[in-house]
Structures are given as C-alpha cells and as structure tokens.
C-alpha cells in the first residue's frame, strides 16, 4: 500500500513560494523564524506542569494584567528569533509597552514588521486549557533604518501574512499569506509541522456561539437580542445553538473555524472598545477568517478596514461564519434606529 506523502511546513512554504514568481524568499524565511520560536514555546508549554515555570512573575504587563512566567518566556523566544531573522526590523508585542526596533546590521533595513500576542489566553496556563500565539506580518511603510510607529499602525487589509499556533491536545499552526488558509499539526517525533488541514473553509452557517455571557448587563441590547435569538427552540433553523466559550481566543476561534460558529467580544458599558487588541489579535484573525470564507466586524465596520491610532488599541469583534455575523449585524443596525437602553451605542 502506498502511504500518503506527508507534506512538511517547509515543503509547503517552498511550494507556495513558487506560486509567487517575484517572491524573494524573505517572507518564507520570516515564517520559518516564527515557527522556530513557536516550537521552543511549545516545548515549555508542554512541560509547564513539570517545571517551576507556572505561576506569576509578580509583575504585570502594560495592561495591568498579571504576567505569567510563560508569557515572558514566549515573548522572549519570538523577539530573539525575529531579532536575528534578518527579515524583520521590529516587533509590536502584547508583552511590551512600546514596539521594539531591531538595530543590528541585518535587521534595521529588513522589509517586514511583526505584531504578536506571544501567549494568548495565559490565564488558562495553570489549568491546562489550550492557549496560543497570534501573529501578523506587515511590510514596513518606511524604506530603511530603524522602524517607526507608523510601520505598525497599518489597517489589517495591508497584512501580508497572519497566523496562530494553538498549544492544545495537539499543537497546530494555522496561517494565510492571502492565498487561502492551511493548518499544520506538529509531529513531536520528528519536530516538524505537517500539513493536516489543507485549504480550510469555515461553514457559512454554524451552530456555535462564543461570548462571555456573564457580562450581559454591560452589552448593548442588540448583542443580547442576538444571544437570545441563538437560544430559541426552532428546529427549522437548527436552534438552539450551542454556547462554547473557553476564555482563550485562539482555542475558541480555532474550533469555530473548523466547525462553524461566531466568536464575540463586544463593546461593553465598562469597556467601550471591548477587550481584544486590534493589531495582534483581531487583525490577524480577521485576515484568516476572510481567507476561509467568513467575516469579521467591529459592529461598525470590517475589522481589516479600521485605521489604527495606537499600538495596543482595542476593538469590539464579531468574527466567524458569514450567516451568523450577518445576523448579529442585523440586530446592531436595527438598534441604531431605536437606540440602546444599556447606553452602549455601536
């Protein structure tokens, strides 16, 4: 019996690069550098229960959130790998108040900048729930020399690549360079990511909605009306849907991407721009979901058309299956006509 050929990530990147006749290999090389760091993070995440790497560093990050040791480790691995890549002139990381500009000879004139959430969902580290890395690659706007803030503050449609790694029961890398979405599973026995989910497409309709309903009193009426719509008993439209919320965006997003569904982190009366960050959480996930046939909106506009004003800017997000995003936007638009009781206007 002929065994199906296993396609490694490296082979896939080489093949994909052939499809871009003017490709110089810089983006491919940058992707490899990100993947190398992800393998190092994966090794520590898998050991987290065994070595004294759990618990907090006692410090907190720029957002006042408790920083876990693994967050710091992950941030360091990606920054070190990107600094020496030669293809990246700077990084904006959730773990760093300001962007980092690489001034070594190879890096300072490099073509790309990277926005990254090194370890998303870190509050789940200690309870062995899936966590993840999310990254976004942009071509710098300045020509050469140390990168500047405007190199990072670019709308999501300018991304050249985006991806995430989910460190779960298996470790998966899912990414796009604008020509579809592909998933790779890490085979620890050979240390290689192997193509396991070619050409991922999100089902147009889904049965899963993901939202932290404990904040109901803070949501706009339109959001609560959509959530109530999801709960109605109606066989014809496959309702009630199922509520699935892990509290780790990468894990919730990945499940919805494969099965169909909608993930929502809306604006709240206490957080008018929601919680999730535009540059290194929402934009990369929006690029992936659109490439997989889904939609991503802030409720006001397409996520990838938001013009960033600051590095750690937040945005409300509704992302997933086309039909489900259309439905929640329908409620949001209706509310604009009648106003909202909870004082959260869209």
By CB under 6 A, name the one of 123, 238, 270, 307 that touches ligand P6P: 123
Q: Is there binding between residue 95 and ligand P6P (CB under 6 A)?
A: no
Enumerate helices (H) and strands (E) in the chain, giving the number of each.
9, 15
Of positions 69, 254, 255, 275, contacts ligand P6P by CB under 6 A: 275
Nearer to ligand P6P, 83 or 254 (CB): 254
CB neighbour list of residue 237: distance below 8 Å, 6 or more residues apart: none
- Choice from 182, 248, 283, 315 touching ligand P6P (CB under 6 A): 248
Residue 339 CB, shortest distance to ligand P6P, in Å, is 26
247 binds ligand P6P (CB under 6 A): yes
> Would you count residue 212 as binding ligand P6P (CB under 6 A)?
yes
335 part of the interface to ligand P6P, by CB under 6 A: no
Query: Site for ligand P6P (CB under 6 A): how many residues?
Result: 8
Nearer to ligand P6P, 203 or 274 (CB): 274
Spatial distance between the Cα atoms of 127 and 143, rounded to a whole number of angstroms: 45
Q: What is the DSSP string of 145-173?
A: SS--HHHH---GGGEEEEEEEEESSSEEE
121 contacts ligand P6P (rule: CB under 6 A): yes
Q: Which stretch binds ligand P6P (CB under 6 A): 23-31, 120-128, 174-182, 291-299?
A: 120-128
Least separation, in Å, of the C-beta of 230 and ligand P6P?
17
266 binds ligand P6P (CB under 6 A): no
> Is position 71 an interface residue for ligand P6P (rule: CB under 6 A)?
no
Q: Is 120 in the site for ligand P6P (CB under 6 A)?
A: yes
**Taking a C-beta distance cutoff of 8 angstroms, is the pair 36, 78 a contact?**
no
Taking each helix axis from N to C end, the angle separating 249-259 and 283-291, rounded to the nearest 10 degrees, works out to: 10
Residue 63 CA from chain centroid, whole number: 18
**Nearest of 267, 296, 300 to residue 283 by alpha carbon:** 296
Nearest Cα residue to 270 out of 186, 335, 321, 342? 342
State how far the Cα of 24 lies from the Cα of 15, in Å rounded to an integer: 13
| 274 scored as a contact of ligand P6P (CB under 6 A) | no
Q: Could you write out the three-class secondary structure of 91-109?
A: EEECCCCCCEECCCHHHHC
* Residue 120: CB minimum distance to ligand P6P, A: 5
Contacting residues toward ligand P6P, per CB under 6 A = 120-121, 123, 212, 247-249, 275
């Amino acid at each position: 019996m002929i065994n199906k050929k296993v396609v490694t990530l490296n082979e896939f990147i080489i093949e994909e690069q052939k499809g871009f006749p003017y490709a110089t290999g810089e983006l491919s090389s940058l992707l490899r550098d990100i993947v190398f760091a992800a393998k190092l993070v994966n090794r520590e995440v898998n050991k987290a229960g065994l070595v004294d790497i759990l618990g907090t560093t006692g410090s907190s990050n720029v957002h006042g959130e408790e920083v876990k040791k693994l967050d710091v480790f992950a941030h360091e691995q990606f920054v070190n790998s990107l600094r020496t890549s030669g293809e990246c002139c700077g990084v904006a990381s959730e773990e760093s108040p300001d962007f980092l500009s690489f001034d070594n000879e190879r890096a300072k004139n490099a073509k790309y900048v990277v926005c990254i959430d090194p370890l998303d969902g870190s509050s789940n580290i200690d309870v062995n729930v899936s966590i993840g890395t999310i990254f976004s690659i942009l071509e710098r706007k300045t020509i050469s020399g140390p990168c500047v803030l405007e190199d990072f503050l670019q709308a999501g449609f300018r991304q050249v690549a985006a991806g995430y790694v989910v460190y779960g029961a298996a470790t998966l890398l899912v990414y796009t360079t604008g020509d579809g979405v592909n998933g790779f599973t890490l085979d620890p026995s050979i240390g290689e990511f192997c193509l396991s989910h070619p050409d991922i497409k999100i089902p147009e309709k889904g049965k899963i909605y993901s939202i932290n309903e404990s904040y109901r009193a803070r949501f706009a009426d339109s959001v609560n009306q959509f959530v109530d719509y999801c709960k109605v008993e109606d066989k014809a439209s496959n309702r009630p849907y199922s509520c699935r919320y892990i509290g780790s965006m990468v894990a919730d997003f990945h499940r919805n991407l494969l099965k169909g569904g909608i993930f929502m982190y809306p604006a709240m009366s206490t957080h008018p721009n929601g919680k999730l960050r535009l540059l290194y959480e929402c934009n990369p996930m929006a690029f992936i979901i659109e490439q997989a046939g889904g939609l991503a909106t802030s409720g006001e506009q397409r996520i990838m058309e938001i013009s960033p004003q600051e590095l750690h800017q937040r945005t409300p997000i509704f992302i997933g299956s086309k039909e489900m995003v259309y439905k929640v936007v329908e409620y949001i638009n209706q509310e604009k006509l009648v106003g909202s009781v909870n004082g959260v206007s869209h």
